[in-house]
Structure 1
Amino acid sequence: MLGVWGLVNTPGQHNPEEEPREPVGSSESADATERRANPERPSNAPGASNGWQRSARGTEQFARDTAYRLRPVARRTTDRIVRWLRQVLAALATLTQRVVRWAAPYARRAHAWLIPAIEGVQRRIDPIVRRLRQRLSPVIEPVRQRLAPTAHRIRDELRPRVAKLRARLPESSGRHRAQLRSRSVQLTAAVAAFGVLAILVGTAGPDTGERTTPAAHTVELRSPDQAQSDQGGTQQDSSSGQDSASDQEQAENPDSDGSPEAKSSPAKPAVDIPPNAHGIDVSNHNGPIQWNKVAASGEHYAFVLATDGGNFTNPMFDQQFNGAKNAGMLAGAYHFGRPTGSAVGQADRLLNTMGSTEDGKTLPPVLDLEVSPNGGGCYGKTSGQLHSWTQSFLDRVKSKTGEDAIVYASPSFWSSCMAGSQAFSENPLWLASYGVPQPSLFGGWDAYSFWQYTNKGSVPGITGPVDRNLFQGSGSDLLELAQ
């Protein structure tokens, strides 16, 4: 019995033969063996991810099906939004056009009202600017004189350095060389600006335009102040030469008694007119003028008011017109146009007042176009009516004289009253533009002949301010305009 009971294990008794044995040569890890031996694995054990994968695939399929169903709805919604935006933009464009059409007359009237207001402000400011310039000139002039040598010295020192720098870059591209030249030019201009700013005190004035003009001729156009200062050295020689010539003429003509009749004989126009010659324009408001002093100061031509509208004639026209010629200057006559009357009748009045002009010293007739002196504006005319009136006036002058009349106007008048018409660009242009280094062109003109750059000029022989002008071209070009 004991032998039998000895062969039978009691519960809980260790029997090594009943333990599972690992097969020989098996590669299964202990952890794998443990999982196999203990099937009650935790939920996050490997092998339990199949459910999550099935859930992810289901969610992805649901999202894909939902996007497929919503795609037509999104497309229709997008199309509706685009159509709505197009309708809104079209409505805004139509509304904008209506507003522009509605506001255009008011804008034109406001513009016509603002021009006289601005000119009135300018007339009030000009005396202040002139007094300020007179007070500052004693202070600025010494500063300019002190800075001028320094500016020249700096420029002379920089020039060889720039030349050496350019010589070190022989293989540089054309663009780099252009940039280097531009830098040196800018530096030189900045240095020279010290002297220029010391003498320039600009006068205020409105100016509107579309583009800045190049030179009308091959002659370089300089600023009025520079041109006047360059002419200063030759004016005394010219005046002394004229005095010597008059003395020699008196010696060669002993019969001449020096009477007023003999002195008033027309003088031959000067042939040594410089490029970009200076000139003036006057009216009866300037009073008596000492034309010999005007000519000796370097003025080479004068425009004189002849007629105004349909009734007024300058009572001093003959005295001023012939006085300029007798002093050796060229002279021209201008008519202040008033489109409320007949264009042909006003053109005839101008030509009749001028009389015979085939003397080689008379510039072409001028039509002066400005806003109405009575409150500004365009005389209550449309741009088409003003265009027709101007064309009739110029055609009448052309038929009577064979010449193209000069048109005087400002950029503001041409844009507001003539609507920028380009129909008169074949006529010479005399434009008025104050306080700018270079005037702006308009109306299809690619160049101007005369530029009225100030109405507050000072000229010997004339009491009070006077309009000053600059001719754009050579002296021979100016003489070619004269009859």
Structure 2
Amino acid sequence: MPEGSADHFAGSQVLKHEGLGDLRAEEDPPTEGKVPGMDVSSHQGDVDWKSSWDKGARFTYVKATEGTHYRNPKFTQQYNGSYDAGMIRGAYHFALPDRSDGVAQANFFVNNGGGWSPDGRTLPPALDMEYNPYGDTCYKMDQAAMTAWVKAFSDRVFVLTKRYPAIYTSTSWWNKCVGGSVKFGENNPLWVAHYNSKLGPLPMGFEFHTIWQWQAAGLFPGDQNLFNGKFDQLQRIAAS
């Protein structure tokens, strides 16, 4: 697979399959008591982090890896640059569950930017689970196999970093491809994608969302996110 073909960002396939819903520019979601943020990949190139900070972004997720072969060439500028601008930041991995097992992809991710440190400025590593960009929606895996893959990735990241990864997904994809046999919400923060002015139902196995990716483009480079809480709560999630 050519390396450039692996440059999929969080929500690229959600947007392709689910679209923008009924979101209107004048109908932004309520932001009171929440913290604005963003997520980026190599598609954004070198990001002007001070500009995003000045516009109100306080956290970001940066794509680090995909499968076991792709590393974001802009990762250092984006990950370190956001930190230097004052943001709380974390790294995410775009999963390709049919290419290799969860442990192998977790190892590759953590070894290439997906680590964590208790500095109060680093979000838990994140696992991006969404529609297959190369074919079958669920990667030709049934719910039991996909659940086992996610659990293997999550458990391995915990062994390596002492943090369970956040899980990025959409409700439609997760309910179809993973289901609710394991309550991942007991350990894994939910980063849910739903492009609308209202959130809607959460994926099976989750009773609470931590981050909502509510728009694919907007005020900040990349996707627009809201942390479901105040800034001091975001700091606590980063710290422990």
Is 2:212 aligned against 1:456?
no
SS in 2 for 1:319: helix
- Asked whether the 8 Å contact 1:422–1:445 carries over to 2, the reply is no
Q: Which has the higher contact order (CA 8 A, sep 6+)?
A: 2
Whose helix fraction is larger, Structure 1's or Structure 2's? 1
Match of 1:413 among 173, 178, 183: 173
- Asked whether the 8 Å contact 1:414–1:421 carries over to 2, the reply is no
Is 2:16 aligned against 1:119?
yes
Match runs of 1:324-473 below 5 Å: 324-340=82-98, 341-354=100-113, 357-426=117-186, 427-459=188-220, 462=221, 466-473=222-229
Q: How far apart in 2 are the matches of 1:458 and 1:476?
A: 23
Call closer, same or farther: CA 1:120–1:411 in 2, change over 3 Å: closer
Partner of 2:70: 312
The one-letter code of the counterpart of 1:467 is D
Question: Tell me, which stretches of 5 or more residues in structure 1 are unaligned?
Answer: 1-115, 134-198, 201-222, 231-274
Is 2:54 aligned against 1:296?
yes
Match of 1:283 among 17, 21, 41: 41
The Cα shift of 1:458 comes to 3.0
TM-score normalised to structure 2 length: 0.85
Q: How far apart in 2 are the matches of 1:477 and 1:359?
A: 15
Q: How far apart in 2 are the matches of 1:407 and 1:321?
A: 19
- Asked whether the 8 Å contact 1:453–1:469 carries over to 2, the reply is yes
Deviations 1:240-295 (CA, angstroms, capped at 9, x unpaired): xxxxxxxxxxxxxxxxxxxxxxxxxxxxxxxxxxx310000000011111100011
**Runs of 4+ in structure 1 over 4 Å off:** none
The Cα shift of 1:350 comes to 1.4
Aligned residues: 224
The one-letter code of the counterpart of 2:45 is G
The one-letter code of the counterpart of 1:375 is G
Partner of 1:322: 80
Call closer, same or farther: CA 1:470–1:376 in 2, change over 3 Å: farther
- Asked whether the 8 Å contact 1:336–1:369 carries over to 2, the reply is yes
Call closer, same or farther: CA 1:356–1:385 in 2, change over 3 Å: closer
The structure having more radius of gyration, on CA atoms, is: 1
Deviations 1:449-472 (CA, angstroms, capped at 9, x unpaired): 00001112232xx4xxx2111111
Partner of 2:6: none
- Asked whether the 8 Å contact 1:367–1:407 carries over to 2, the reply is yes
Call closer, same or farther: CA 1:453–1:395 in 2, change over 3 Å: same
Call closer, same or farther: CA 1:445–1:343 in 2, change over 3 Å: same
Partner of 1:256: none
The one-letter code of the counterpart of 2:38 is I
The one-letter code of the counterpart of 1:348 is N
Q: How far apart in 2 are the matches of 1:481 and 1:424?
A: 17
Partner of 1:185: none
The one-letter code of the counterpart of 1:367 is L
Call closer, same or farther: CA 1:321–1:456 in 2, change over 3 Å: same
The one-letter code of the counterpart of 1:455 is A
- Asked whether the 8 Å contact 1:429–1:450 carries over to 2, the reply is yes
The Cα shift of 1:356 comes to 6.2
SS in 2 for 1:305: strand
